Amino acid sequence: MSTNRDDFGIAIRSALLQRGAGQKFSLFVFICLSILIFFLDSFPSRAMDISRSVINDSIYRVSMMSSSPFKFINLLKNKTVIHFNVRKENIELKNELEILRNKDFNLEFLASENKRLKEKLVSSTEKKYNYVTAKVIIDKNSPFLKSVILNRGTKSGSKKGMPVLDGNYLVGRIVETNYLSSRVLLLNDLNSRIPVTFGDIPVQAIMTGDGRDKPRLEYLPENFEPLEKETVFTSGKDGIFSPGIPVGKTLFEKESIKVKLFSDPNQLSYLNIILTDLSKKEIF
Amino acid sequence: MGFNVGNLRNKIGNLGPIFLLYFLSITEIDTQFSDLFEILSFNLQIIIIYYWVLRNPSVIGNGNIFFAGIINDVITGLPLGTSSLCYLVVSLVASYIKNVTVNVTLFTDWFTFLIAIFFSNLTYIILILNFSEYEYNYIELLYNSFFTFLFFPAFWVVFNFYKKIVYIKYDD
């Protein structure tokens, strides 16, 4: 029995301490180094923040360059698919245009009515967004974390917590900033929680990412029976996101209420970082 | 002191697995295929490390494993050192298995790979749960580990074939 234990000890010691041909350091040294780096990174300090920012920016640039040939191939593939779909799409668009023309008259009336009502109501939603456009430089799929890297950092005014839009639609918020880059936590990430509202009688809920493409709605009122295809907006209850940013449409899936996002999290290229003044707001 | 073609081929061949390891860590190319099948994702880096440390430790050094892990952490947004530590744990298990086994078969490698995956995931979970603010989906990890384990024999065959091309042909 003790011989077995000795053998195990010898084999482990050998695996940890032996240095193979051409290796300067043993496995043990690198394990210690990894643990040290992990703890330095886990307990924030100014020196580590600067180091991490420099490392991140450098690696993101190298990653962007090394990924560019594959991005180009993907782009070519997408362009080809679009080219072949254009005829079919044209017919569909013509039909859609006809429907929209019919709706236009009704819309004109509603727009003027809305304008009149807005003039009477001093609303915070009237504030124009101050934003900066950023390019997605890295979009690596991970089964665990759903995020993208943008080419704008603190140099361009990006700060942690700022909302990020794809056109007019919310896609996530900034969770990491470096001097030249930022990381956006997407709405479908497991760690994402956004207060939202939807329906004619506005219902408040929390939209929670679950790692899949469609986040789910939680903390709905008791005995609540929602309708499908209702537009979900940010409620602004967190004090970070402005109220009324469109997010997606409700749908039922696997006995839960989910949100089909307006913006596909896998197809992001250029995003707008909303430069909100976070100093006056509580980070959610 | 003459120019040795075999040696040159050997050296270039040795760079293949290192290149693949860094390539997977630094580029956007990933081994997640949720478009094809919702739960399909696996960790090719672990397979590369385990196979090459077990079969030929001089090909992928500890330093390369460490740096590939750091790069992976930066790209995926994990706390620095997490992937490095997980990869080094895989390397440790592979080194241990190499020290205690004599016969080399696909079956023994496959079976012992399960131990490497277990300890690597254990390290990952301990680090993420106790020292970071991330929430974690255990089911995703389970699927990822399952497919990593399932695909190991396929890559074992591919790497074996590669090794034969690189290391045997030049003796002809």
Domains of chain B in sequence order? 5-171 (1.10.1760)
8 Å CB contact between A170 and A188: no
Express each pLDDT in B133-158 by its tens digit. Answer: 777 778 888 888 999 999 999 999 99
Residue B123's Cβ-side half-sphere holds a number of Cα atoms within 13 Å equal to 22
8 Å CB contact between B74 and B80: yes
Report the pLDDT value the prediction gives residue B116, as an integer from 0 to 100.
93
CB < 8 Å from B in window 76-95 of A: none
The pLDDT of residue B52 is above 50: yes
Angstrom CA distances, B92 to A14, A19, A277, B57, B119, stand at 10, 12, 48, 11, 10
CB distance from B70 to chain A under 8 Å?
yes
B162's CB contacts (< 8 A; 6+ apart) are B13, B16
Express each pLDDT in A215-224 by its tens digit. Answer: 988 888 877 7
Residue A236: left if φ>0, alpha if ψ -120 to 50, beta else—which one? left
* Sign of the CA dihedral with A226 first, then A231, A234, and A237 last: negative
A150's CB contacts (< 8 A; 6+ apart) are A134, A135, A136, A137, A158, A164, A181, A182, A183, A184, A271, A273
Report the pLDDT value the prediction gives residue A228, as an integer from 0 to 100.
78
Inter-chain residue contact A18 with B95, CB threshold 8 Å = yes
- According to CATH, where is 2.40.10.340 located in chain A? 130-279
8 Å CB contact between B96 and B88: no
- What is the arithmetic mean of pLDDT over A1-16? 72
Confidence label for B171 from pLDDT (cuts 50, 70 and 90)? very low
CB distance from A57 to chain B under 8 Å?
no
- More confidently predicted of B87 and B14: B87
A140's CB contacts (< 8 A; 6+ apart) are B27, B28, B30, B75, B76
The pLDDT of residue B114 is above 80: yes
Residues of chain B with C-beta less than 8 angstroms from the C-beta of A141 = 30, 32, 34
Q: Tell me how far apart the terminal alpha carbons of chain A are, to the nearest angstrom.
A: 56
- More confidently predicted of A108 and A124: A108
The pLDDT of residue B63 is above 70: yes
Token pair in block for residue B134: 């991330």
Confidence label for A124 from pLDDT (cuts 50, 70 and 90)? very low
Q: Which amino acid is at A275?
A: L
Inter-chain residue contact A70 with B144, CB threshold 8 Å = no
8 Å CB contact between A265 and A186: yes
Report the pLDDT value the prediction gives residue A239, as an integer from 0 to 100.
76
CATH superfamily, with its number, for domain A130-279: Rod shape-determining protein MreC, domain 1 (2.40.10.340)
Residues of chain A with C-beta less than 8 angstroms from the C-beta of B77 = 145, 147, 175-176, 183
- What is the arithmetic mean of pLDDT over A211-238? 82
Inter-chain residue contact A30 with B62, CB threshold 8 Å = yes
Q: Is B138 exposed, middle or buried (0-12, 13-18, 19+ CB in 10 A)?
A: exposed
8 Å CB contact between A260 and A220: no
SS3 helix, strand, coil % of chain B, rounded to 5?
A: 75, 0, 25
Express each pLDDT in A156-205 by its tens digit. Answer: 888 888 999 988 889 999 998 888 899 999 998 888 888 998 887 788 88
State the Cα–Cα distance between residues A281 and A173, nearest whole angstrom.
14
Q: Which amino acid is at A235?
A: S
State the Cα–Cα distance between residues A30 and B63, nearest whole angstrom.
7
Residues of chain B with C-beta less than 8 angstroms from the C-beta of A37 = 70, 80-81, 84
What percent of chain A shows pLDDT beyond 70?
A: 88
What percent of chain B shows pLDDT beyond 90?
A: 38
CB distance from A14 to chain B under 8 Å?
yes
- More confidently predicted of A211 and A31: A31
**Average pLDDT of the residues of chain B:** 85
Residue of chain A with shortest Cα separation from B70: A34
State the Cα–Cα distance between residues A181 and A167, nearest whole angstrom.
20
What DSSP character marks residue B59?
T
Confidence label for B170 from pLDDT (cuts 50, 70 and 90)? very low
- The beta-carbon neighbor of A140 closest among B62, B63, B75 is B75
Inter-chain residue contact A191 with B135, CB threshold 8 Å = yes
Of the candidates A153, A142, A242, A148, the one whose C-alpha atom is nearest the C-alpha of residue A197 is A242
8 Å CB contact between A176 and A216: no
State the Cα–Cα distance between residues A171 and B167, nearest whole angstrom.
50
Neighbour tally for A138: CB within 10 Å: 24
- More confidently predicted of A214 and A124: A214
The pLDDT of residue A281 is above 80: no
8 Å CB contact between A148 and A223: no
CB < 8 Å from B in window 124-153 of A: 138-145, 147, 149
Lowest mean pLDDT among A98-107, A124-133, A154-163, B161-170: A124-133
CB distance from B130 to chain A under 8 Å?
no
CB distance from B2 to chain A under 8 Å?
no
What DSSP character marks residue A266?
T
The pLDDT of residue B168 is above 60: no
Confidence label for A22 from pLDDT (cuts 50, 70 and 90)? low
- What is the arithmetic mean of pLDDT over A100-116? 74
Express each pLDDT in B9-30 by its tens digit. Answer: 777 888 889 999 999 888 877 7
CB distance from A13 to chain B under 8 Å?
no
Inter-chain residue contact A37 with B29, CB threshold 8 Å = no
Report the pLDDT value the prediction gives residue A253, as an integer from 0 to 100.
79
B85's CB contacts (< 8 A; 6+ apart) are A31, A34, A35, A38, B69, B123, B127
Residues of chain A with C-beta less than 8 angstroms from the C-beta of B134 = 145, 190-191
- More confidently predicted of B103 and B139: B139
Inter-chain residue contact A67 with B70, CB threshold 8 Å = no
The pLDDT of residue A279 is above 70: no
Report the pLDDT value the prediction gives residue B41, as an integer from 0 to 100.
84
The pLDDT of residue B109 is above 60: yes
Residue B33's Cβ-side half-sphere holds a number of Cα atoms within 13 Å equal to 9
The pLDDT of residue A126 is above 70: no
CB distance from A55 to chain B under 8 Å?
yes
